[in-house]
Structure 1
Amino acid sequence: MTDVDARELTQVGPYRVIRLLGAGGMGRVYLAASASGRAVAVKVVRPELAGNADFRQRFRAEVNAAKAVSGAFTTPVVDADPDGPLPWLATAYVAGPSLQTAIQDYGPMPEPTLRVLGAGLAEALVAIHRSGIVHRDLKPSNILLAADGPRVIDFGISKAVDGTALTAEGQVVGSAGYMSPEHVAGGGALGPASDVFSLGAVLAFAATGRPPFGTGPFHVLMFRARHEAPQLDGVPPALVSLIAACMHKDPAQRPAAEQLPGLLGGVAGAAAGGVAGGAAGGVAGGAAPGWLPRPLENELLTMQEHLRTLVLTQAEAPPSPLLKRRSVLLGGGAVVAAAAVAGGTTVLLRSVGGGSGSGSGGKAAVTPAAGWTADLPGASMAPAGMAGNVLVCAGRSGAAGFDIATGKQVWSIDGGQNSVIRPYQQRVFAVRNDGKLHALDARTGKELWATEVEGERAPQIEQLSPAVLVATVGDTRLFGIDAATGQRRWVHAPPSDRFLSETVTQGGLLLRVDSGGGVASFEQFQKTGDINSHRSGSFYALDLNKGTVSWSQQGGDAALYAPPNGNALYAFDAQMNLQSLNPSTGTPVWSKPSGLAVSTLPMYSDSLSLVEGTLYCYPLTIMQGVKTGLVAAFDPANGRPLWKVTAAGRTGYSFAVSGRTLAFADTALHGLDNRTGKVMWTADPKLGKLDLAGPAGDLIMAGSANALYGLDTRTGRQVWQQAVTGGAAQAGQASWGVMRVPGQLFATFGSKLFAYRLPGVPPPA
């Protein structure tokens, strides 16, 4: 064993660690760079596993399996040390989002993109199978999108065709909804045809935005894969028969992976002409430029620019190695994506921006350039979401759509005192003054449907998913509304002594959190601030599509956090122990004392956030008589407390993480080192009272009544500002709303919408 803490590594072998990307059961994943500036993803095994001889043997087998694979659409292993104090593995870093994230953010892909995606994945499978390996877990989160095609990652759970297991006996390998029928059945060897089935399921997801067997508990999805036909409604007609053939229940009836590139038109052929206006024809060893839709292509450019900035900035720091190599294993082209330990965590570069490192040195922060300005049709609107090339701004006064290239208003709707407006993918869902739920096309503003929800009050939108909208009407009932038609699918009503506190979703589950004692208990808590009067709660896990209860749990605090792309739930019990729950059963995986006081912490799902491999606790301060200045950090793999700080008078309901900086507003705006919790900087008090608006590349955005400021994430120094214009709003009567998308930054204040260009990315066509 070793006493080296993998969390604090600054050097792994010859690679300088830039930032933590994520963590999983096996270890942590870091973005790192070689001396020449090559970016790599380094997976470092957990110290508690490093002393396990059986685990080392499996890890060594994983490295050997990875080295055996080469192909244009796989990610090569560049180095490894399976025999070091902390075994590690380095692979080429892919600066691109996972397919899962891309579909969630941008919706289904067009047919030309689907053909390139399918052909590239098929070529990757050919390379994998040629090495005698079956992947066994091909799914959207194990596929990264690069400028020259997709990349298949994660061979830590692969199985050699000769029967040599690379995982521990009894471990369930595979993801429900993408596993083949023979994989679900078990009891026999899996062949390459099993991966072809998974490829078909992945293409169906990319084409429709939903899994081909819907959503639901693990066992339900496994049953559907074995006995029901996949849902292919919405797949381009020209691809339906091919995807259906890939997903045939009989492995012998599926096409071979070698046949698929030709059937799909080939990587270069399918991309000819491009999707986003890129050049025609193929690129040697990859897909043509422009194979992705324009917004995704812009996102890749943004991520690549941030990666270059991170690597260049880090290269200026002096070396301080902590982990030495015993031996060097150079992979001649291999596939193991270290980032897959955290479920495709390379997407963190797109979500948190570019700042790297702490202290005052390094390159100057990259600042936005002025774009266009537009008038908002109503007051207090803020950027709320994207639908293609349309930015949706929404607020109590209504909503409007703007062309992101020109700033032209495309559509608008009125709001009102009771209005609720929520954009989601290609639609806008709204509760309007007529008390009905409305669905609109987010690109045009055209109404798609309107429906009434029975109850004494106007409905409230609780959760949104591709298939189901979940609403409440002021009581304990939840209504599942078909997102496509507006028809009611289901109703769920708990016992009468329960008070609906909140809902969260993860995968195909809707998790409702109820508080005990009913409304009277809740009102008592509001008056006194005594959380013990309102602590006995219940968790119900519902099938999001059907509303049926999969499991329930009584007791615990009214807090349950579900990372959107995770495979674990986090909750606090009545003694403020932090727990990890199995999403399929609700049973605890582990429970650790959090070290947090019981009496002063009202907890909600927003009180916990999983960001860059760290679980942060940031209790809200919205209850009358309840004050807390707490910010705490935990290891999400085992609940180990990392640090906590208590601020004097924290304000605001959110924090921002960018690089190694965690920013939040106290009596002033502070930047903490997110590894230690120590204050690195405090914003200049001359800027006035600042409200945190969020990260944007190298900047932390913060607003006052007079201006929007961009602060360098590493130093807190103001490097950019947008002053309030005369017609925007009267001082003190509006707040800033900020949203970043690939290539652009949008900000609202009062009646004005501002657009800025982010360097390194061309403006949208």
Structure 2
Amino acid sequence: MSLRSGDPEEIGGYPLEARLGSGGMGTVFLGRTASGRPVAIKLIHQQFANDDEFRTRFRQEVAAARRVSGAFTAAVVDADPEGLHPWMATTYIEGPTLAQRIAGRGPIGGAELRSLAIGLAEALRDIHRADVVHRDLKPSNVVLSDEGPRVIDFGISRAADQQTLTMTGRVIGTPPFMSPEQLQTPRGVGPSSDVFSLGTLLVYAATGQGPFDADSPYMTAYQVVHEAPALDSVPPALRAAVEPCLAKDPAARPSVDELLVLLRDLPAELEVVAGGGRTRDVVTEHQLGRDDTSGEPGPAAAAPEPRPRGPRRRWRPALAAVAVIGVVAAGVALLDAGPEGTPDGPDGKGRNVAATGAAALPGGFRPWRQDVPAGKAKIPDEVRCLPGGDSVYCGGGGVIATRVRVADGKRLWTRGGPGVPVQDMYLAGLATAGGRDGHQGPGSAKDPGSAENPARTVIGYRIAAEGSAGPDEVVGLDAARGTELWSAPFGAHSTAVAGPGAADAVVTGSTVLTADADGTRLEARDARSGRTLWTSPFRAGDQCAPLGAGGRAYLMCAPKAQVTAGEVRRVTVRGVRLASGELGRPVGVAGPVEPLGADGGRLVLARQRVGEIGVVEYDAVVRLDAGRGKATTTRLPRAYGGAPRLVDGTVYFTEQSGRVSAVDAASGRLRWAEHTGVEGASGPSAGPGALYFGSAGGRVAALAPRDGERLWSTDPKVNGGSDLRPTPRVTFAGRAAIVSGAGNLLYAFDTAKPPKSG
């Protein structure tokens, strides 16, 4: 893949020739030494270089890679982990990854399988002799070179004599290839964990599937911890060597030296079991990111991101070295709902009758696609949009805001940002002249920009350029022309306190609320002029985030020590009087909790817990009456995984697999549970006659609100993977759906005539 505009010409004195891939932690380039030798150079994104946790992890990766440089790994050529732009250069290894080999040609057998098994065991022996535990052995981290297999990517490895780097709220690894102890007690992971992972790799190589594969990462992880491996399709001779590696008890597994003895005794030509496993690559088929370069050597894409509390993550990982169990929970196989894209319309004309009610199309509307240009950093991600009059206003993906006409998709103005996009940071809201709530937060069904109530000011974010000393700012733009009215620095602490999807700037009527850059006080500004209306200091020792829901403003706070440690056990919520900044009485809520929106004048929150194998789940719904200073907690009959969203009194838990559970926000009763048929679909958005779910690839699925029946779904527009995000990707202007996705994708269609699938 050739270099892109904005890519450096050289790194550390090494001229660059091509871009091998890019991800959340950095970009990998092909460079040359002075003698002409090819090297792979990983350049860390600048925003991560400014993050102590990521910088520590990169130092650890460089140190581990240096310790194990040998015949079976990519040797470190040069590195500068302490530089302003940290980087590491390693030997360039030409060849496909094991993931690519299995996906393209199916399972491995015969002498090739024996050589692979011995080569990987020898590589692991050398890694352990250097006192390093890899902790992320998986198909995309094994390169099949002409000289034999090479183990790469030590991004989450650690020296055996060091403490584990704790990633707050996360279990690090890839579920199909993790050991039981890595899922349950990651601090206690040792060399025997790599032996377990090697066993799963060899089963995968021989059969095309892992020994614990299931319909969702959650169930896969459960089977790793509790169930026996599926080994029927493994050649018997190899099975005798592999099965002891998969013991649940680390002490019962062989050492790498013992395993090598078993593998070297294998017959020269391993037999292939008839009727072997699937040939698809279980990991990459579901987890490939937008910039995956499957035809190129190098690590494959990362698994779905978690939803931890902690420092904000910039730019969605698409080629990251770290894969994690995130917001995924027990899923089911896709339900058979008939041919996708076939509208449920009795008129026989192919129309979606459910969407042909009162909602009308904007005048002159026709379907369109208008991908939003990325900002000055030239790195797209995703945008989100809010309707306003005859337009939608979109932000994110390196863009402060853009105005797009609904009728034909024409961009009327765009204000690009100088910095790298920040994941899950989009448009803050639309401020109105009439004092109505202009922030379309979770569960809001209001249109702040209707013809009767046009938006006056667009509130977006400007993220500072890499290497810049300037602050991140909240920006007010004139909605008609896009001219900048004002800007002010803000504190990016909301997600650490209030969870994924929490906004750092809250727009309520004509007022914008933010925490100051130092995180010490709440600031209120006039949305049009940017003038400070009032400030309200936070209590000493607290970290706080503004919230907006149902036209009202709130302040959620947690002890700073708990936030820093990633263990928020209790939060305090207060109502905020917009006229004066006066705070209402504090209401304590056991945490961590995530605000979902308003229902019946009450703030609704979902209580979070970490399940048995490190998966984020939700076990209760909290309804908070700020005026009375009272919170009512309703325990759910079971814990739900996925991303919660409140729409019309119902909380929808959407899992990575595409399964949706609809739960009554007041009673906690399950109304229905169905499958969208779309992996990583965020939502729902309440639109004409249906609930709409959108994926990073631009697919849209429509479900009936009453029972979750799948009405129709569309084909993807881009290669967006299965990226679950907390905010929905579909918004509406009358009957027109405006959909966003990976690569700053933006397109629109008539919900009565959705694009046909297939």
TM-score range, shorter chain: 0.3 to 0.5
State the TM-score, normalized to the length of structure 1. 0.42
